[in-house]
């Protein structure tokens, strides 16, 4: 392959609902839709607040719907020879039922099964892989898709991520004291106290530039670089200077042969340790002038799905020339002294954006998107 990797389709689901209009009306206006969890009893936890869509959707059904939207937008046929790459921890419903001594209902509990079900649903013929490396799982799926395409092993890859708020992980994050004490997420604000979970599912079609050109596909953006790094500092804490973020960002810029970007969609969990470390890492890599925001301030933390959903958010920022705000921000923090787009949505020339994610174990990813 001599060309690059392009984006030709996507589908997305969050607490705001289906599709890009829901994202534009919610994430890009800075609306926070956190409310007490309704799918399970949240009273044992420090906060009941989550960003969850109405009802009790099934993970495989929502994932399939997003994949259908992405494939339809891209204009691909069901028998395409394409990889299906999924970042997910699987569906926890059966696990939760089993732990309570309730009747076990077989389902897509194992991530590999969920990836295979997705491939069968859309009819793609190609490798099927599941990534389970926590909150960089779907970012890793996107990066692996880029690698497969640039190596000439595949011409098309459907890359996806999926997480719906459920009791199992609510309990785990509560035990780790990671949640915002007052049930309000405030990324980069001095009074931030923690994160909140949220629904997120997204699917993205990546193609080789040549393949997209041969079939006359509409190219939405180019994925021109990525970075992957581990700061090897602590199982749950980032390096205070954000060394992993710095390394991942520098790798992405070097691959794309550029020196700066117009916007960064930050990991931005709203936890005291993450936001300061990420600020340090970004300042070292990019200086102090690049606009940065955390859209987890509106969607919540979508765990394994974060990379895929925030890739779509970054793509819309690129297409619309609008930077999504960091919602909930109240008080400047001397340790977080960059431009976090706190005033609301901001119109700006956007030609190049970075999407960042991080995870337990010191993992960091950066994905670079550019206008076609």
Q: Which sequence positions are flagged as catalytic?
A: 135, 267, 301
Both tokens of residue 50? 């989550």
Helix (H, G, I), strand (E, B) or coil at 187: coil
Cα 341 → chain centroid: 19
Would you give the DSSP letter of residue 127? -
Q: Find the helix packing angle between 137-150 and 306-320, rounded to 10°.
A: 70
As a whole number of angstroms, the distance between CA 156 and CA 208 comes to 7
Mapping DSSP to helix (H, G, I), strand (E, B) and coil, where does residue 229 land? strand
Which residues have C-beta within 8 Å of that of residue 216, sequence separation ≥ 6?
A: none
The number of helix segments (H) and strand segments (E) in the chain equals 11, 15
Helix axes 243-256, 272-286, angle to 10 degrees: 40
Give CA 38 to chain center in angstroms: 24
Decide: helix, strand or coil at residue 88: strand
Do 336 and 274 meet the contact criterion of CB atoms below 8 Å apart? no
Sign of the CA dihedral running 17, 19, 24, 30 = positive
**Cα–Cα dist 308/138, whole Å:** 5
Query: Distance (Å, rounded) from C-alpha 231 to C-alpha 177?
Result: 22
Q: Which residue has the tokens 């309704």?
A: 38
Strand partners, 50: 35
What is the phi/psi pair of residue 217, to 5°? -75, 150
């Amino acid at each position: 392959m001599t060309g690059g990797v392009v984006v030709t389709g996507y589908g997305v689901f969050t607490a705001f609902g289906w599709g890009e209009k829901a994202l534009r009306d919610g994430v890009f206006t800075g609306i926070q839709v956190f409310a007490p969890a309704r799918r399970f009893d949240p009273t044992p936890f420090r906060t009941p607040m989550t960003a969850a869509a109405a009802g009790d959707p099934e993970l495989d059904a929502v994932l399939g719907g997003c994949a259908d939207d992405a494939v339809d937008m891209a204009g691909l046929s069901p028998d395409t020879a394409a990889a299906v790459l999924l970042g997910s921890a699987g569906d926890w419903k059966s696990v939760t039922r089993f732990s309570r001594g309730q009747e076990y209902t077989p389902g897509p509990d194992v991530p590999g099964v969920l990836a295979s079900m997705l491939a069968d649903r859309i009819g793609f013929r190609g490798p099927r892989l599941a990534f389970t490396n926590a909150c960089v799982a779907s970012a890793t799926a996107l990066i692996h898709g880029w690698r497969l395409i640039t190596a000439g092993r595949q011409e098309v890859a459907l890359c996806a991520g999926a997480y719906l708020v459920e009791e199992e992980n609510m309990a785990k994050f509560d035990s780790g004291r990671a949640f915002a004490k007052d049930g309000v997420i405030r990324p980069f604000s001095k009074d931030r106290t923690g994160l909140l979970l949220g629904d997120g599912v997204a699917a993205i079609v990546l193609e080789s530039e040549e393949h997209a050109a041969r079939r006359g596909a509409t190219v939405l953006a180019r994925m021109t670089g990525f970075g992957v790094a581990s700061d090897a500092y602590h199982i749950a804490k980032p390096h205070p200077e954000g060394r992993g973020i710095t390394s991942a960002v520098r790798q992405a810029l070097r691959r794309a042969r550029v020196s700066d970007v117009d916007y960064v969609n930050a990991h931005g969990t709203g936890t005291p340790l993450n936001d300061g470390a990420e600020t340090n890492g970004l300042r070292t890599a990019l200086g102090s002038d690049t606009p940065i925001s955390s859209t987890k301030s509106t969607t919540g933390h979508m765990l394994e799905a974060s990379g895929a959903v925030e890739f779509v958010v970054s793509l819309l920022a690129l297409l619309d020339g609008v930077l999504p705000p960091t919602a909930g921000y109240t008080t400047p923090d001397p340790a977080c002294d960059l431009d976090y787009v706190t005033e609301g949505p901001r119109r700006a020339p956007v030609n190049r954006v970075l999407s960042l994610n991080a995870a337990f174990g010191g993992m960091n990813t950066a994905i670079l998107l550019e206008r076609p």
